[in-house]
């Protein structure tokens, strides 16, 4: 069973930054690695699942003409809207995936630190919707904590294995550390250098 929305509501009840996204160097560095791993400098439209208080969203907003970010927790959505209030091209919605999936086409879908809160079937449903929502040359980025998390059915490694097996697309980026795994997939296997005519 997927983790309930009430769990996330409780996390934000007395803390605007329950994972210390703003303060911890680990989180700051991981965001930098995430943004540096994007194969393209600019994406016309990005969908970020589980935006929390909007720290990663702020970086993604600089790489797109239209960012749609969502989170299940009402407080997280309020915080993300405040964080991104200066960005007219950003929308933040309260919604839970896969049940409430937007009817848009995206060039990049970001699933960061959220998929292990889903059970395997819900994650497969998310990926099915992502496949149908991504532009033909679109990318999917996933980044997750690797050690087991109490109350979660899947580990980060299991999440990424399931994503890879479901998409059956080439990995364009694979970054592995003791703490986290980050990967980017796309239908087109061309590398960044090749796209710029360097190979």
- Give me the pLDDT at residue 2, please: 78
In terms of DSSP bridges, do strands 180-186 and 67-71 run parallel, antiparallel, or are they unpaired?
Answer: unpaired
Span 47-101, pLDDT tens digits: 999 999 999 999 999 999 999 999 999 999 999 999 999 999 999 999 999 999 9
In terms of DSSP bridges, do strands 106-112 and 46-49 run parallel, antiparallel, or are they unpaired?
Answer: parallel
Supply the pTM of this predicted model: 0.95
Q: Nearest-CA neighbor of 171 among 161, 156, 185?
A: 185
How many domains does the chain divide into? 1
Domain that holds residue 89: 5-195
CATH number, domain of 81, equals 3.40.50.150
Residues of the chain with confidence (pLDDT) below 50: none
Contact present, 84 and 61 (Cβ < 8 Å): yes
- Give me the pLDDT at residue 1, please: 53
Residue 9 in tokens: 């509501």
- Give me the pLDDT at residue 105, please: 96
Q: Where are the alpha helices (DSSP H) in the chain?
A: 5-11, 25-37, 55-61, 74-83, 120-133, 156-167, 192-195
Q: Nearest-CA neighbor of 9 among 98, 72, 84?
A: 72
């Amino acid at each position: 069973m997927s983790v309930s929305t009430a769990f996330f509501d409780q996390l934000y009840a007395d803390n605007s930054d329950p994972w210390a996204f703003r303060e911890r160097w680990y989180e700051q560095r991981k965001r930098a690695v995430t943004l540096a791993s994007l194969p393209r400098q600019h994406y016309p439209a990005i969908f970020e699942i589980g935006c929390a208080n909007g720290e990663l969203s702020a970086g993604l907003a600089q790489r797109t003409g239209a960012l749609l970010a969502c989170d299940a927790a009402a407080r997280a959505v309020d915080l993300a809207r405040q964080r991104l209030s200066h960005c007219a091209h950003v929308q933040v919605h309260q919604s839970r995936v896969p049940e409430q999936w937007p009817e848009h086409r995206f060039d990049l879908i970001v699933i960061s630190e959220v998929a292990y809160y889903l059970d395997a079937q819900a994650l497969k449903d998310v990926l099915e919707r992502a496949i149908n929502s991504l532009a033909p040359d679109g990318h999917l980025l996933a980044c997750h904590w690797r050690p087991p998390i109490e109350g979660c059915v899947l580990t980060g490694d299991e999440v990424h294995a399931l994503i890879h097996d479901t998409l059956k697309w080439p990995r364009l980026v694979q970054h592995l550390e003791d703490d986290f795994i980050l990967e980017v997939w796309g239908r087109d296997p061309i590398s960044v250098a090749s796209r710029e005519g360097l190979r």
